[in-house]
Amino acid sequence: MKNTKILGIVIIISIIAVYAGAKIYVTKLAKAEVDVAIAETSDTTDITYKKVSVDLLGMDVHISDITVSPINSDEILKINEIIIHDFDKESEVPTFFSFSCNGIEVNIKEAGKEADKLRALGYKDKMLANISAHYAFDKEKKELTLKNIGIGAEEAGNIMISFRLGNINLEQEAVQTLFFTFPSLLLHDAQITYEDDSFIERVMALEAQKSQTTLEEFKKSLFEELDEKIANEKDDYTKKGLMEIKGFFENPKKISLTASPSEPLPLGALMNIEDPKELIKLLNIKIKS
């Protein structure tokens, strides 16, 4: 019985040792690759970091305490952590890439005239922002899928954008002319989602203050105005959208806008449509709160 327990303990210790050794080895490889990437930008940018680690289960690469500064500049951008979830190392132009940047220090003093507006909303001079993105390119289908491009800030909100484009070529020789082929790109579908984290409430509170009224009275006036627009709107499609917008302002948590046309549409043709209602119906845009 004792031998069995001892054997079990030895197996557990061995597994831990193998895991720790593998993690150290993989982390060294990841650190080497990060250092090479930083060296390639050394002519224009000074980049430092404190630590590189690898999650063996998910194989995510974590880079912590990063500072980024252009050469011969006093500007310094601080980032708490960059996580590289997945990356195509084989192709000259990566066919897939997934990353997150957490805790990007933003100084609203650099926002110019907008800084005073942000302070009026109750934000401090330094805010923390997050950015994430995932894309995948299918060479055979010539389709680019961008999933959950996220931009968010603490006590403000988060915007997530996803879309799928067709008739696109990301081969290295074609990337330089991508701008000129923009009108012929096909939009398959798209979605924009906004998740609020007190920003809407702050805006309404500020507008109430400007109107010299209470927040409750301002909301009441806003909802009455929206109710009037909904009642007077003859187009059912637009009316439903207005009702969803009102629902979001009543309970500002999340609102999404999706475009799902019956068939892929060229971006050039969409840009030439001047009537917003025609564009909304052609894209089959729906609003959901």
Task: Decide if 19 is inside a domain.
Answer: no
Q: What is the pLDDT of residue 157?
A: 95
In a domain, 218, yes or no: yes
Q: Residue 49: pLDDT above 90?
A: no
Could you read off the pLDDT of 126-161 as tens digits, one per residue? Answer: 899 999 989 899 988 999 999 888 999 989 999 999
Number of domains in the chain: 1
Q: How far is CA 83 from CA 77, 101, 137, 197, 275, in A?
A: 17, 6, 21, 23, 42
Overall pTM > 0.75: yes
Range with the poorest average pLDDT among 47-56, 183-192, 275-284: 47-56
Q: Which domain holds residue 269?
A: 88-288
Bridge partners, residue 64, by sequence:
51, 81
Q: Are the C-beta atoms of 196 and 261 separated by less than 8 Å?
A: no
What are the strands, taking DSSP E only, across the chain?
Answer: 45-48, 51-55, 60-70, 77-87, 96-107, 126-138, 143-153, 157-166, 186-196, 254-259, 265-266, 285-288
**Tokens read off for 56:** 């063996």
* CB proximity list for 78: less than 8 A, separation 6 or greater: 66, 67, 104, 105
Transcribe 252-265 into DSSP letters.
-SEEEEEE--SS-E
Per residue in 242-276, pLDDT (tens digit) is 999 999 999 999 999 999 999 999 999 999 999 98
Is residue 13 assigned to a domain? no
What is the predicted pLDDT for the residue at 174?
64
* pLDDT (0 to 100) of residue 60: 85
The distance of Cα 197 from the centroid of its chain, to the nearest Å, equals 15
In a domain, 239, yes or no: yes
Q: What is the mean pLDDT of the chain?
A: 84
Indicate whether 155 belongs to any domain: yes
Average confidence (pLDDT) over 209-216: 94
Give mean pLDDT, residues 210-235. Answer: 94
pLDDT digits 0-9 by tens, 26-41: 566 667 777 877 888 8
Per-residue pLDDT, 102: 93
For the cut 80, the answer to whether the pLDDT of residue 166 exceeds it is yes
Give the integer Cα–Cα distance in Å for 216 and 3.
73
Domain assignment present for 59: no
